[in-house]
Structure 1
């Protein structure tokens, strides 16, 4: 299938950014419209993607600039797509869906998903790999009442978010994340082929849909030697 136009713009801009220095200014939005001969919406989608991933930053009234990267590692922050980010580094991403089971969640998970005491969730255990190297071990909790009759076979040839959208008409629009530095326990270290106690980034992620309803809560452990959590902050007081 042919890439959407904005994806082509993203790829081309990333190639150009690779040869630029941190804080170099990109062409204006008007100039990009001329260069690529596409709609304004296409350019804005491309710039938003690059900004969300920390590749560029914008200063109001001044323009768009190349962001500095101190560590050349996969970024696990923001509305993160493991598959897309991995492919940008020339690697092939795969997912092993280890187990899907219906469980009674503990109080903390129920609270994150706004569930009643009797509500159950599906727990999906997954391993994400890059060129067959284990990278992220995760447990995802999905409310049964939103995703009845979810099967692990649904995920054989499609991504989780795509299944939730196609089968259940649930569209994720925002994610909240907390990140903690931890040491790998026995379970995660075995799956990630790392020593017990190796450094890891533990990511707690809650996703909400376009009706402001929590649809997913995921706890992931990412290898500390392979990932960074990249963010940006703006001072709105100046």
Structure 2
């Protein structure tokens, strides 16, 4: 071990903070990639001659910062970067969010057909039950890794030719706007924690019971009528949602940007 790779016990910096810096430096120097294993707790204690408490605090902070991920029973690994999706500050789709960060999104269309709206879909879209709607199911890959499974419903009357569109490498929102003149202007989104069932786990390449983020959305067009509703199940280890909050000058004016309910 080089001199600069040791804990400086005379430094005013806490040992766990020094260890964090050393681990990040080691990952960069060795050019480790997402999914590569790093040393475990006991190995780090031995290598850097520190207590397990120091190691655990350093690893916990690195995990919170998205540098590493710890998998029970398997070890500690360099984390895959998480795609940040805007939750309320802008009405964008995952396609735009991934592209803005230099990634590539590909969709595997599992189902695309016209079906009668059930009660729940009809309520979301403010249409009578059994009105024809387009049912779109997609397994979406970011840089060829399964990332999110989505189920989208759109009234057939606003995009009658959508069932014939190729959505493999195209943004649904861009298709709606360019081909059907439908522009989404605002929406309501909510996100909640859930766990993957067996079928969802197989689709997303995770284990049954692993965490997923369930994003629900209803989007409105320029006529202020709902034009899209969807449910998206995001892998919890690959996604995060960011929210931009503003405090109104007059607290009595306006509506809250984020409402959390139990």
User: Please, what TM-score do these two structures have when normalized by structure 2?
Assistant: 0.59
How many aligned residue pairs are there?
A: 170
Pairing 1:190-229 to 2, within 5 Å after superposition: 190-229=202-241
Instruction: Compute the displacement of 1:89 (Å).
Output: 4.2
| 154 and 86 in structure 1: CA distance in 2 versus 1, 3 angstrom threshold | closer
1:74 aligns with 2:75: no
Q: Which has the larger radius of gyration?
A: 2
| 103 and 186 in structure 1: CA distance in 2 versus 1, 3 angstrom threshold | farther
| SS of structure 2 residue aligned to 1:234 | coil
| SS of structure 2 residue aligned to 1:158 | coil
Which of the residues 109, 114, 117 maps onto 1:97? 109
Q: Mean alpha-carbon deviation: is it higher for 85-94 or for 141-150?
A: 85-94
| 157 and 221 in structure 1: CA distance in 2 versus 1, 3 angstrom threshold | closer
**What is the RMSD of the two structures over their aligned residues, measured on CA atoms?**
2.2
Unaligned runs of 5+ in 2: 1-63, 67-80, 252-262
Which of the residues 143, 146, 155 maps onto 1:143? 155
User: Please, what TM-score do these two structures have when normalized by structure 1?
Assistant: 0.64
d(CA) in 2 for partners of 1:217, 1:119? 14
Contact 1:86–1:92 (CA under 8 A) maintained in structure 2:
yes
d(CA) in 1 for partners of 2:156, 2:194? 30
d(CA) in 2 for partners of 1:180, 1:211? 29
Unaligned runs of 5+ in 1: 1-68
- Cα deviations by residue, 1:34-59 (Å, 9 ceiling, x for unpaired): xxxxxxxxxxxxxxxxxxxxxxxxxx
d(CA) in 2 for partners of 1:157, 1:222? 19
Alignment match, 1:188: 200
| 167 and 104 in structure 1: CA distance in 2 versus 1, 3 angstrom threshold | same
Contact 2:93–2:171 (CA under 8 A) maintained in structure 1:
no
